A and B are shown apart, each in its own frame.
Chain A
Amino acid sequence: GENVEQHPSTLSVQEGDSAVIKCTYSDSASNYFPWYKQELGKGPQLIIDIRSNVGEKKDQRIAVTLNKTAKHFSLHITETQPEDSAVYFCAATPLGGSQGNLIFGKGTKLSVKP
């Protein structure tokens, strides 16, 4: 079945710096790749997603890139702010799954130091 690896597990940056989180997936048939932000005591919040017919997508300070050949996708956060501190999860849909059947990475704890 699908397997999603996420790196790094923790990331500490200074306010204003950029942060990059990388994920790889195993199932070449996966075609939907969302990113979620989870703050302490809350459910995951969808922050951006990308589909397999697109190589890059941006939304203000957040961007996601997808390399289907290499089976990896990345989250880029520019001009980080303390409120960006949270755990970030990548996910992918496995072969035959609806887009509700998401396989998640183990998460990256991002700390932004003021």
Chain B
Amino acid sequence: ETGVTQSPTHLIKTRGQQVTLRCSSQSGHNTVSWYQQALGQGPQFIFQYYREEENGRGNFPPRFSGLQFPNYSSELNVNALELDDSALYLCASSSSWRGEQFFGPGTRLTVL
């Protein structure tokens, strides 16, 4: 069974740029959630995708957007990057009939 994978591992961008992060869900899972984890903090929910539709959103502005593909992999897009967007971005997948969330290793984004 393949776990949750994310790419890239690290990324450096400058303020105002756009970034796309990718996530492949665990085999058999059809739900993907994205979280932002600032240094020394707990993860904060950004949004969730279920069957290619957004299924819940946290307190993040519209410049954070996402997609889910028919194979249940997902992308997180962030436009007009700000310095405060520097964080570890985590993807978690789950099967819709079970509650357990399984996280990937994350993408470390640095905005200069």
Contacts and interface: CB of A to CB of B under 8 A. Distances in A.
> Are chains A and B native binding partners rather than an unrelated pairing?
yes
Interface of A: 4, 6, 32, 34, 36, 41-46, 49, 51, 89, 91, 93, 97-107
A101 B43 contact: no
A16 B95 CA distance: 36
Given A44-B43, A104-B43, A99 B94 contact: yes
B99 to A, nearest CB: 3
Given A43-B106, A100-B92, A101-B45, A49 B99 contact: yes
Contacts of A97: 56
Contact of B100 (A46, A98, A107): A46
Interface residues of B, number: 26
Contact of A107 (B42, B48, B90, B92): B42
Given A100-B31, A100-B56, A34 B103 contact: no
Contacts, number: 70
A99 B98 CA distance: 8
Contact of A104 (B4, B44, B99): B44
B24 to A, nearest CB: 13
A36 B37 CA distance: 14
- Sort A-B residue pairs by CB-CB distance and give the 8 closest, nearest first: A104-B42, A99-B99, A43-B103, A100-B33, A100-B48, A43-B105, A44-B103, A101-B56
